[in-house]
Structure 1
Amino acid sequence: MAGAAHAAPASSSLNPAPHQNDLQSVRKEIDSVKKDIAEKEAVKKQAQNAIAASEAALAATRQALAALGRQQGQSAERLAELSAALEANQTQVKGVQARVARMLAESYKRGQHDAMRLMLNASDPNQAGRDLTYYRHIAAAQQRLIADLSARQAELARMADELKRQLGQLGLMADAKAREKRQLELSKASREETVSALSGQIENQHSRLARLKEDERQLSALIARINREIEARRVAAAKKAAEEKKARELARRQADEKRRQEVAAAQKAGKAPPPDTRRPAAAEPVDTVADASASGRAFRSLQGRMKLPVAGTLAGRFGGARGEGTTWKGVYIQSAPGQPVRAVADGRVVYADALRGYGNAIILDHGGNYLTIYTGLSAIVRGVGQEIRAGDALGATGTLDSGETGLYFEIRHMGRPVNPMSWAR
């Protein structure tokens, strides 16, 4: 739709309706794009929050993995120390066992494995006893050392097994944390892709929105231009119609004055009046009816702007001759029966009843010594004392007592009738 508002309208076709439809369509599309952008921004915000949460979880997971790594390193170092101690202890046990074996072998070679023989061969029985006791002490000490070393060997093995178990658990925990880290990284990457895609879509929608707003601006300017030209034509047509109406009124008054002078001259000369050569005034349509636009305004301010009370045809003018020989003191608007009759200005009902010679009538007091009179009504829907606003319905058209169908309307100031057409626009 971009560029649809660029072309200026042809002067012969001033119809803003198609452009109004285009403008409504563009505005609906703008609303739709704005809604879509808002929805995408909300989803993007959620994804960004989730990414931030994933980053925090990843940082915590990395810290946990680092801590597990340090624990594994410390346990591995401790296990290496225990393994070295086990190896050293085993070496020591083997050394002691070797010494005991050598000692026993040596004793056997010397024939000292038999205590009795040792005593019998000894030249000094006391020395033999001492030697026997010494060997017993040495053997017992070696056995205790071997027992202590064996116990330490078992404790070291138990500690090594415990460290291996802890290392196994740390390994399982590290594997679980590593899996959690990979899952968090995958989730973060997926959300980052979502944010990237949404950012692109939002950027495209903003570009589209800018184009639509430019279309809206151009269409609004085009419609305003069309409406200005329509209004200018309407004002020019109204001015022309007013000038033509003024010229007709002037020509009619001049013809009436000429006829009056002719009749007066004939009467003064005692002659019959000459034939009336005046052409009857052409009936004018009345299509602008009083409405609420005049409400709240002083009656005197409406002169030249007043709308007549009913639609129809202006068939009787102020001062014009009536069929029964009288003249109109107001205007007679011919219309079909039952048409709504509306108040021309704010006022108060001071009369609402039948009026001899005019049929049903309503009289409104507008203040400032101004009255308006509406006669020939088929029905009266207002009562005396009732406050009326401009445009309010007073009744419906019917038939005057003289037989005319429509509405007879007068304006009076200080009790004297004035020409309603000098007030109507």
Structure 2
Amino acid sequence: MKPYVLMAALIAGASHAAPPASAALSTAPHQQDLKSVRKEIDTLKKDIAQKQAVQKEAQSAIKESEQAISQTTQALVKLEKKQSSSEQQLEALRAQINASRNSLAAVRQRVGQMLARQYKSGQHDAMKLMMNANDPNQSARDLAYYQHIARAQQQLVAQLITHQHELEALSFQLEQELARLNSLSNRKSQEKSSLQQDKASQQQELNKVTGEIKTGQSKLSQLQENEKRLTGLIAQINREIQRRRAEIARKAAEERKAKLAAAREAARKENERRRKLAENAKKQGKPVPEEAKQTVTVKEEAITDVADDSAAGRAFVSLQGRMKMPVAGQLVGRFGKPRQQGVSWKGVFIQTANGTPVRSVADGTVVFADQLRGFGNAILVDHGGNYMTVYTGLSVIGKSVGGSVKAGDTIGNTGTLDSGESGLYFEIRHMGRPLNPQAWAR
């Protein structure tokens, strides 16, 4: 099954309701699915971009083909006009040639007839004309007239022959030009046909790529919607995980508080019993029992689980309900409880021996490493996500500003606060607001 189809089924089956409180929650499989979806989205975007480049090239090629076809069509129109004009001229010339041939034939016929009569009459025509004429002058004039006509007819024949040759030469030239135009027109027609085939092929390729782009964009839209839903599902699961962790931490804190209150009440009752036992012994004149001489004290909560590299590489927010404290010792100052100076603790104070290593509770960057008025030597670590931890009362500062730290790294040693309290004062802040460290510790 395709990743995006799997995601859609997963999201549809998950619904938008919060999982049951008893169900085990993890975003790991969903994160992996989200990673797969995003990878497929990136691949699809690249594929669409490549196809869009091909689409653009195909559109450009089609435009060039259309321009070439248009130019070829215009050239064919001009050639057809020239062909038509040449054909008309050729037809007119052929008509002139035919008329010239007819005229030449008629003249040749008349000349032939005249020559035939002369041949039959012999060389005595002129003499007969002279002898038979009553007027010699008239006879001379008639003879000259006949000679003039004969020469004129001969010249006309020669002119007609010359004119016919010129017409035939011009006709040949027109036929050659017409043949050239026909050949050029055929080539242009073939060129146009080839261009149209190329355009059809390019259009087919464009239609194919356009269809693939449309399909890819539709799939991309679906993947992006699945990514959005899956991201929302992961956020919902994370919120539920944080809520459960906070609830577990709250219950654990309440249990610790209840146990401590019960232990204090039991100690108070036991001390009251021992006080009365001592009073009764005195009233009766008896020695005070050793038991009555001692006061029962309640030890504050002991911290034994110290930060180590198990939290390395994890987001700080994911540590809520699982965080380990930076040092081992007795928890004598609680979040929100009053201090000796009349103010309340904004973190926790852990009583421990001087020189005890202080460890970073999570990965981060040191943003302060110097004396802090009222708290002695201090280190502030930025963990990202607007989370910061504060370590004060240090005898030794082991990191400098700008240095990176990993969960479990030693960042200094315990000392005393300016107030004289021996141990480590520890705060957690989010966007500058103090948070109860015990709500984060397990």
Secondary structure of the structure 2 residue equivalent to 1:14: coil
1:54–1:184 Cα contact (<8 Å) kept: yes
**Matches of residues 103-142 of structure 1 in structure 2 within 5 Å?**
103-111=114-122, 114-116=125-127, 118-119=129-130, 122=133, 124-142=135-153
What's the Cα RMSD here? 4.4
* Map 1:193-272 → 2, pairs under 5 A: 193-254=204-265, 271=288
What is aligned with 2:337? none
CA contact (8 A) 2:302 2:329 kept: yes
Cα deviation 1:94-132 (Å, max 9, x = unaligned)? 111111111222344445665455445555443332222
Deviation at 1:47, TM superposition (A): 1.1
**1:316 corresponds to:** 330
CA offsets per residue over residues 220-266 of structure 1, 9 Å max, x none?
22212211210110110111122123224434555666677788889
Alignment counterpart, residue 349 of structure 1, candidates 354, 366, 371: 371
Matching of residue 63 in structure 1 with residue 74 in structure 2: yes
Q: Contact 1:44/1:195 (CA < 8 Å) preserved in 2?
A: yes
Match of 2:164 among 150, 153, 167: 153
* Residue equivalent to 1:31: 42
Distance in 2 of aligned mates of 1:199 and 1:373: 69
- Distance of 2:392 and 2:357 partners within structure 1: 20
Superimposed CA distance per residue, residues 362-413 of structure 1 (whole angstroms, 9 cap, x where no aligned partner) = 94279xxx994235x6xx546xxx88999899x9499xxxxxxxx6565455
Which residue of 2 is the match for residue 192 of structure 1? 203
Equivalent residue, structure 2, for 1:284: 303
Give the Cα separation in 2 of the matches to 1:38 and 1:71.
50
C-alpha separation in 2, matches of 1:64 and 1:236: 86
Matches of 1:25 and 1:189, distance apart in 2: 40
Seen in structure 2, the aligned counterparts of structure 1 residues 162 and 52 have a Cα distance that, compared at 3 Å, is same
Q: Which residue of structure 2 lines up, in the alignment, with residue 82 of structure 1?
A: 93
Displacement of 1:169: 1.1
Match of 2:180 in 1: 169
On the 8 A contact 2:376/2:417 being kept in 1, the answer is no
Match of 2:343 in 1: none
Instruction: Tell me the distance in 2 between the aligned counterparts of 1:219 and 1:56.
Output: 50
Q: Which moved more, 1:173-182 or 1:41-50?
A: 41-50
Length-normalised TM-score, structure 2: 0.69
Contact 1:373/1:409 (8 A) holds in 2: yes
Distance 1:419 1:349 in 2: 14
Cα deviation, residue 135, structure 1: 1.4
1:108 and 1:344 map into 2 onto residues whose CA distance is 142
Task: State the partner residue of 1:4.
Answer: 10
**Contact 1:316 1:333 survives alignment (8 Å):** no
Give yes or no for contact 2:398–2:411 (8 Å, CA) kept in 1. Answer: no
Asked if 1:373 is matched to 2:393, the reply is yes
Q: Is the 8 A contact 2:37 2:227 kept in 1?
A: yes
1:218 Cα deviation (Å)? 2.5
Structure 1 residues without counterparts, runs of 5 or longer: 292-306, 320-328, 352-361, 399-406
**Consecutive unaligned residues in structure 2, runs of 5 or more:** 312-322, 334-348, 380-389, 428-435
Conserved in 1, the CA contact under 8 Å of 2:307 and 2:359? no
What is the DSSP-based 3-state SS (H/G/I as helix, E as strand, rest coil) of the residue aligned with 2:371?
strand
Q: Verify the 8 A CA contact 2:394 2:416 in the aligned structure 1.
A: yes
Q: Secondary structure at the match of 2:32?
A: helix
Which residue is equivalent to 2:320? none
C-alpha offsets along residues 126-161 of structure 1, whole Å, 9 cap, x if unaligned? 333222211110111111111111111111111111
Deviation at 1:217, TM superposition (A): 2.4
SS at match of 2:13: coil
Residue type matched to 1:284 in 2?
I
- Give the alignment of 1:330-345 within 5 angstroms: 331-332=351-352, 340=359
Decide whether the 8 Å contact of 2:353 with 2:422 is kept in 1.
no
